[in-house]
Amino acid sequence: MRNLCMKVSYDGTHYNGFQTQPDGRTIQDQLEKAIKMLSDEDVKIIASGRTDAGVHAYGQVFNFLTQSHIPVERWPMALNTRLPDDIVVREAIEVPELFHARYSAKQKTYRYTVNANQFIDVFQRHTQFHHHGKLNIEAMQRAIKHFIGTYDFTSFASRRSTKTSHIRTLFDAYMVVDKSMCRSSTYDQGVIHTYVTGSGFLQHMVRIMMGTLLEVGEGKKSPDDITAIIAAEDRSKAGPTAVSKGLILWDVEYNDFPKKTF
């Protein structure tokens, strides 16, 4: 048996999330169906983690065991011709038998995009949350730094979370403001890409962080409130869960293989 590991991008707009569900069209279903078409094997793929309905991925990672002799470098193209056009396998490598896309993951990066220009960017409408009205971006940038570190993130977890521990470490969190589509300085504040990198993330964690940061941007909370909200370990203290479409699982990193090739 060979253990193959792949990196996949998908537009989650038309899917019920990553993980197989009895009632729905999911990314996992599509990938397993394409593998079945290619190798005639009923495989169960292991992803770095699930993504919710409407959430996208640029660099989701999954692995599976196969008896196929198809050379690893031929898999991406071969799968892509068998996948719908909103799912694209970008990389494939052979990994040690014990490699596990979830357990072996060292860190994950998510990107959340807020369009703070006056009008929706029609070409990016499925991957940007369009925010109406002025945002204090500088305050948001100060606020986000308070998330970096090791904390109990209960305040930023879905109430439905079943995890035994809510302690996670955020290694980095920052915002990049793209002003290339701004026309008027009065109404257009740019497109804000927020990147967060951590050891792991709780359900809805990035979206609740964003909902809270947007309240900071709107002046409803101050940047320094973040520390108290984390300390409260109480979901009701944080802001709302930002809509799923702005969120992209950007990358998953592993110790095992060199970053530049995967």
Chain length of the chain: 262
Based on the shown chain and the rule CB under 8 A, indicate whether residue 86 belongs to the binding site for a second copy. Answer: yes
Based on the shown chain and the rule CB under 8 A, indicate whether residue 186 belongs to the binding site for a second copy. Answer: no
Based on the shown chain and the rule CB under 8 A, indicate whether residue 182 belongs to the binding site for a second copy. Answer: no
Neighbours of 230 (CB within 10 A): 20
The catalytic position among 23, 40, 42, 52 is 52
The set of residues, in sequence order, having a beta carbon less than 8 Å from that of 220 and lying 6+ positions away, is 239
Based on the shown chain and the rule CB under 8 A, indicate whether residue 174 belongs to the binding site for a second copy. Answer: no
Based on the shown chain and the rule CB under 8 A, indicate whether residue 56 belongs to the binding site for a second copy. Answer: yes
Based on the shown chain and the rule CB under 8 A, indicate whether residue 125 belongs to the binding site for a second copy. Answer: yes
Question: Applying CB under 8 A, which of residues 4, 11, 139, 141 lies at the interface with a second copy?
Answer: 11
Based on the shown chain and the rule CB under 8 A, indicate whether residue 82 belongs to the binding site for a second copy. Answer: no
CB 195 within 8 A of CB 172: yes
Shortest CB 85 distance to a second copy, Å: 6
Report whether 10 belongs to an annotated binding site: no
CB 183 within 8 A of CB 189: no
Q: Is 234 a catalytic residue?
A: no
The set of residues, in sequence order, having a beta carbon less than 8 Å from that of 56 and lying 6+ positions away, is 9, 10, 11, 12, 13, 126, 127, 245, 247, 248, 249
Shortest CB 88 distance to a second copy, Å: 5
Based on the shown chain and the rule CB under 8 A, indicate whether residue 76 belongs to the binding site for a second copy. Answer: yes
Based on the shown chain and the rule CB under 8 A, indicate whether residue 184 belongs to the binding site for a second copy. Answer: yes
CB 211 within 8 A of CB 241: yes
In 103-166, the DSSP E strands lie at 105-115, 129-130, 149-152
Collapse the DSSP code of 129 into the 3-class scheme (helix H, G, I; strand E, B; otherwise coil) and give the result: strand
Based on the shown chain and the rule CB under 8 A, indicate whether residue 80 belongs to the binding site for a second copy. Answer: yes
Burial class (CB in 10 A: 0-12, 13-18, 19+), 177: middle
Site string for a second copy, 94-123 (x = CB under 8 A): ------------------------xxxxxx
Give the C-alpha separation, 176 to 183, whole Å.
18
Shortest CB 174 distance to a second copy, Å: 17
Considering only the stretches 5-13, 63-71, 156-164, 165-173, report the one whose residues sit in contact with a second copy under the rule CB under 8 A: 5-13
Give the C-alpha separation, 19 to 45, whole Å.
10
Based on the shown chain and the rule CB under 8 A, indicate whether residue 1 belongs to the binding site for a second copy. Answer: no
Question: Which parts of 198-257 interact with a second copy (CB under 8 A)?
Answer: none
β-sheet bridge partners, residue 172? 197
Instruction: List interacting residues with a second copy (CB under 8 A).
Output: 9-11, 56, 58, 76, 80, 85-90, 118-127, 183-184, 261
**Residue ranges at the known binding site for substrate:** 110
**Residue ranges at the known binding site:** 110
Catalytic positions are 52
